[in-house]
Chains A and B, each alone.
Chain A
Amino acid sequence: SQKIEQNSEALNIQEGKTATLTCNYTNYSPAYLQWYRQDPGRGPVFLLLIRENEKEKRKERLKVTFDTTLKQSLFHITASQPADSATYLCALPTSGGSYIPTFGRGTSLIVHP
């Protein structure tokens, strides 16, 4: 069955450093992969989408890579700030024709001043 794995342990980094979060998947050949941000007590908010034919995508301080051979996406936040502290979720379209995104459990990022 399809499986999405994100590190359940929180990532603690110092302000100004680059944060790198990982999303691994198995038994998938997704056409795209998405990253969402979720703040405590709020709903997830869409950040970026990367398609299977794109190796890398950037948006301001965010960079996403998508390696379909390794079945892995990396999410980078450069020059991280305390305001970047949140949980980050990756999502992939469910196979079988529905294409409805299935979400990973998320990784908590804590940026220390």
Chain B
Amino acid sequence: NAGVTQTPKFQVLKTGQSMTLQCAQDMNHNSMYWYRQDPGMGLRLIYYSASEGTTDKGEVPNGYNVSRLNKREFSLRLESAAPSQTSVYFCASSESGRTASGNTIYFGEGSWLTVV
């Protein structure tokens, strides 16, 4: 049972380069998320997709774009990488995004991105 799978695990980029982080989940979840985690800042939501066909900005969307390719896949793109985007990126999914009764988030293993 793979859960949430994200690639690549590690990446070094030069300033100005572009790249796409890939994410797929096999739990038939409706909602998917991209977070970044920085020392002292905790997890911050970049973008989310409450359901297939929709995407919304989170707390820190600047410099990123996302694509919900289908129900399983949600990619994060850095169009022109900057050193401030050096971080650990986590893809996550949940059964339903907008629910007041509980929303357990399942995380991938993380992608370590360094922009030099």
The count of residues in chain A whose C-beta lies closer than 8 Å to any C-beta of chain B is 26
Q: Which chain B residues border A45 with CB–CB below 8 Å?
A: 107
With A98-B98, A103-B42 as given contacts, are A44 and B103 in contact (CB-CB < 8 Å)?
Answer: no
Partner of B107, one of A43, A98, A104: A43
Which secondary structure dominates where chain B touches chain A?
loop
Is the beta-carbon distance between A105 and B106 smaller than 8 angstroms?
Answer: no
Is the beta-carbon distance between A49 and B110 smaller than 8 angstroms?
Answer: no
Is the beta-carbon distance between A101 and B105 smaller than 8 angstroms?
Answer: yes
With A34-B104, A41-B110, A49-B104 as given contacts, are A98 and B97 in contact (CB-CB < 8 Å)?
Answer: yes
A32 in the interface (beta carbon within 8 A): yes
- Cα A83 to Cα B52 in complex, Å, equals 38
B73 in the interface (beta carbon within 8 A): no
Q: Which chain A residues border B100 with CB–CB below 8 Å?
A: 31-32, 93, 99
CB distance from B101 to the nearest CB of A (A): 7
Q: Which chain A residues border B4 with CB–CB below 8 Å?
A: 43
- Contact string against B for A residues 1-33, beta-carbon threshold 8 Å, 1 for contact and 0 otherwise: 000000010000000000000000000000110
Greatest chain B CB density within 10 A among A42, A100, A102, A106 is at: A100
Partner of A99, one of B35, B92, B99: B99
A residues lining the B interface (CB < 8 Å): 8, 31-32, 34, 36, 41-46, 49, 51, 89, 91, 93, 97-106
B residues lining the A interface (CB < 8 Å): 4, 33, 35, 40-43, 45, 48, 50, 56, 58, 90, 92, 97-110
Enumerate 25 A-B pairs (CB-CB under 8 Å) in ascending A order: A32-B100, A34-B102, A36-B105, A42-B109, A43-B92, A43-B110, A44-B90, A44-B107, A46-B105, A49-B104, A89-B42, A89-B43, A91-B105, A93-B103, A97-B98, A99-B100, A100-B33, A100-B45, A100-B97, A101-B103, A101-B105, A103-B43, A104-B42, A105-B42, A106-B42
* A-B pairs with lowest CB-CB distance, top 7: A43-B107, A105-B42, A103-B43, A31-B100, A46-B104, A44-B107, A99-B98
